[in-house]
Amino acid sequence: MLYPVVALLALLVAVPVIHVVVASLYRRNLFQVRPPRWVGLENYYYLVTSAKFEVAILRSMSFTVTALAVELALGIALAVWVHRMRRLPGMGLLRTVLAMPILVAPVVAAVMWRFMFQPDFGILNHFITGLGLPPVGWLSSPSIALLAIVLIDVWQWTPLVFLTVLAGLHAIPPQYFEAAELDAAGPWKQTLHVALPQVRRVIVIVALLRLIDLLRAFEIIVATTQGGPGDASYTFPVMIWETAFVAFEIGDAAAASVVLLVLVSVIVTLLVRAIARQGVVGRGQG
Amino acid sequence: MSTQTDRMRFPGHAGGVSRREVLRRGAAFGAVAAAGGLLASPAVAQSRRIVVTTMPGPRWEGALRASAAAYMARTPGTEVEILVSPYAEHYQRIGTSLIEDSTAFDAHLFDPVLIGQSHPKLEPLTALFDSDPGWRDYYMNGVPYFYRGSWDWDGVPYSIVHDANCMMTWWRRDVFDALGLAEPASFETILANAEKLNAAKANAGFMTCAGRTQWFLGMTFTGMMHAYGGRWYEHDEMDAFGRIDPARGSGAVTLDAPAVVEAARMLKALSRIWNPASLNALEFENAEAFKNDISHQQVMWSGFMTLQNPAENPRFHDQLVSRDFPVGGASPDPARTGMKGGFGLAIPRASVNKEATFDFAKFVTSRENAETFIRAGGQPSNAELLNSWGEQPQYQVFRSIAQGVANGHHLAQFAEGPQLFQIITQHIGDLVTTDIAAEDACAAMKRDVETLFRRSGYL
């Protein structure tokens, strides 16, 4: 009974990966009529020695770390707050409203924010200048563009962290909080010593999911800046897309995709191992 | 036996009919339809269906749809289907359908950047051109050589060039008159004007599509480099049409030559005073900036034609004027400036309707169809049409296009051309967003282009 599953997995996962790895060993332009040329590891050599490789890695890391930190902090804080206030009227509606950004397609969210960020006639600068402040080049200032994209991602994906952690909090038996109250623990101590330790596995899982997603983040950046201005938001996935579908260099893009795959796998594996050693997930958990 | 669920109710059939009855009637209808189809087959064989791919927008889709409607009215028995897909998908569709020798398409809205790679899969049009000498002469004499040649390969035409586009300067005549500013015929004038315009109103002085998107920055800079007398590489000559002969190679990469560095210095100077939105602006945002009285001087593609339409731009449609791309530097040559783009209609070799498609393409470019084509939003390639229609205020931009398509630098027409634009956009992006000096940006740009050319066997 195992063989069909293995065969299906091989078909869905292994075959495309092998195809990309093989493509990365050829120099091939999508519009080139002459057949692809075998170049071995040359595509990888040019990739890692190019200036844009270093830039793309740096931008990807900055984007991932910043967005992940903000989304986790905000999502957990919101979940704890909504969980504490769960008996108040209207909290169900509030929960739904807070979760709504997830329902918006990322590219739609990006275009919507792009219009709001427009420096000359966007609504955000309309309010800012109305307060007598200078207009902000949200997506056109090299020092702000990446942060503005982080803001879009935070708006869209914090609800995922919020909902997941909230579900975990709801699963904690109420007796735990009652016992803490009997021990005179206030809301802060209850959160710190009862709620968060109980949902740490949920937090780790949602953090890993967001990490993987952020390392691959693509639609929002392409729909807002395409990596610009200059290379201010030129992340690794944007580099792959630009190489494949703007420059049509399939071999180079395949090599970059393989590097991203390895990079994400290594980062996630190292993190999972580190977390497993702490006993939160995996073999070490108690 | 029929049950209640077996029975379907149809309007007018109070008692309903059984499933078996439905199947029986369906089979009878099918047989009649098939017989009718067989009987009608001679008529079907006479009607032709041409499928033309294009991108959205009045200039492409609008002009082709209007032309198709006019053509179908004039040519009974021919159906022209205009198949629209967005920019990126359109190019992929061309690439994949040519590789696969697909017979699904009869003409593609064709960008000359693809000609080097794609011409073996396109129909050589010399014989079809010669089949109608009257039209051939009208076309050859009307569309400037340095423009239509972009769609040729080894002297053989592979497209009927029906659309013209180039970069140019736009400005607000009333504002310029009020401030006593000179016509922006050179970048030095643009810079001086921009400072005065900014002094009168913040960020009004100069704006361009300088974002990373679609290599706008790389295109703008190439137009400037050309205006200053620079070139990408030694053999980047006007009659080389942006191509590299593999046997001859590119010659030395000249992206650090004094003229190129001078153009880079000018762009850096402009970037210090331009409307900051330039760094992420798309064409429509530049258009909005004009419409909303935000910027008064821009270097842009000719797509601003719609801004001269009173319905599109009620406030300033009659105040916006254009001219060919500015010149610059010590010895400017007005016949060498700017950047050209544009599209033709290419017929795939695999098409089974070549003659009919060619006939449609001829019609699209004809004098007979000019009014339909232009009023629907098209920008014709024929200089005579451009200049005569350009006398009307609403189409004055056509005169700038007529100059620009003859004078502009060609797009890169070798397989690695998109990568060349990517490299230029990258380094000029660094130039205008960081403190890097023009000399250093140009040196880095040259280094990366040399690497690309070595990999490609051009150096």
Model confidence over A180-196: pLDDT tens digits?
Answer: 988 888 888 999 999 99
Indicate if the pLDDT at residue B64 is higher than 60. Answer: yes
Nearest CB among B211, B292, B415 relative to A31 is that of B415
Given a contact cutoff of 8 angstroms between Cβ atoms, the answer to whether B246 and A34 are in contact is: no
Q: Which CATH superfamily is domain A2-284 in?
A: MetI-like (1.10.3720.10)
pLDDT band at B10 (very low <50, low <70, confident <90, very high): very low
Per-residue pLDDT reduced to its tens digit, B156-165: 999 999 999 9
Of B98, B120, B285, the CB nearest to A118: B285
- The verdict on a CB contact (< 8 Å) between A50 and B448 is yes
**B166: closest CA among B416, B375, B423, B410?**
B410
Q: Helix or strand or coil: residue B20?
A: helix
Q: Inform me whether the pLDDT recorded for A284 exceeds 50.
A: no
Residue B11 is predicted with a pLDDT of 37
pLDDT in tens, B277-309: 999 988 888 999 999 999 999 999 887 777 888
Residue B385 DSSP one-character state = H
Task: Tell me if B418 and A246 make a contact (CB, 8 A cut-off).
Answer: yes
Mutate to test the interface with A, among B279, B428, B440, B455 (most CBs of A within 10 A): B279
Mutate to test the interface with B, among A42, A221, A246, A249 (most CBs of B within 10 A): A246
Q: Contact, A119 vs A125, CB < 8 A?
A: yes
DSSP output for B234-260: TT--GGGTT---TTT---SB-TTSHHH
Name which of A33, A118, A139 is nearest B120 (Cβ-Cβ). A33
Residue A150 binned pLDDT confidence (cut-offs 50, 70, 90):
very high
Highest mean pLDDT among A170-179, B26-35, B365-374: B365-374
Task: List beta partners, residue B83.
Answer: B53
Q: Are strands B156-157 and B152-153 parallel, antiparallel or unpaired?
A: antiparallel
Can you give the residue ranges of every domain in chain A?
2-284
Assigned superfamily of B47-165+341-407: Periplasmic binding protein-like II (3.40.190.10)
What is the pLDDT, as a whole number, of residue B289? 92
Contact B121 A248 (CB under 8 A): no
The ipTM of this complex is 0.87
Chain B nearest-CA distance from A163, in A, is: 34
Tell me the per-residue pLDDT of A204-248, one tens digit each, with 9 for 90 and over.
999 999 999 999 999 999 999 999 899 999 999 999 999 998 888
Which pLDDT score is estimated for B25? 59
Per-chain mean pLDDT for chain B: 89
Do A245 and B211 count as a contact with CB atoms less than 8 A apart?
no
Query: How many angstroms separate the CA of residue B432 from the nearest CA in chain A?
Result: 7
- Model confidence band, residue B330 (pLDDT cutoffs 50, 70, 90): confident
Please answer whether residues A221 and A62 qualify as being in contact, where contact means their C-beta atoms are separated by less than 8 angstroms. Answer: no
- For residue A141, name the pLDDT band (cuts at 50, 70, 90): very high
pLDDT at A197: 92
Q: How much is the pLDDT for B42? A: 45
Q: Hey, are the CB atoms on B433 and A27 less than 8 Å from each other?
A: no
CB contact under 8 A, B280 and A42: no
**Cβ–Cβ contacts within 10 Å for residue A68, how many?**
21
For residue range B21-47, list pLDDT tens digits in order: 545 655 555 555 555 444 444 444 457
Q: What is the CATH number of domain B167-339+415-456?
A: 3.40.190.10
Residues of B in contact with A50 (CB under 8 A): 448, 451
Using a 10 angstrom Cβ sphere, with 0-12 exposed, 13-18 middle and 19 or more buried, the burial of residue A102 is middle
Indicate yes or no: CB of A231 within 8 angstroms of CB of B429. Answer: yes
pLDDT of residue A195: 92
Provide the mean pLDDT of chain A: 91
pLDDT at residue B1 in the model: 35
DSSP one-letter string for B29-92: HHHHHHHHHHHHHHHHHH-EEEEEEE-SSIIIIIHHHHHHHHHHHHSTTEEEEEEE--HHHHHH
List all residues of chain B from 382 to 421 with a beta carbon under 8 Å from chain A.
415-416, 418-419
Residues of B in contact with A120 (CB under 8 A): 203, 275, 277, 285, 288-289, 292, 294
Give the pLDDT mean for A92-114.
Answer: 92
Q: What is the pLDDT of residues B407-446, one digit of tens each?
A: 999 999 888 888 899 999 999 999 999 999 999 999 999 9
The percent of residues in chain B predicted with pLDDT above 90, rounded, is: 75
Average pLDDT, stretch B247-257? 96
Domain ranges of chain B: 47-165+341-407, 167-339+415-456
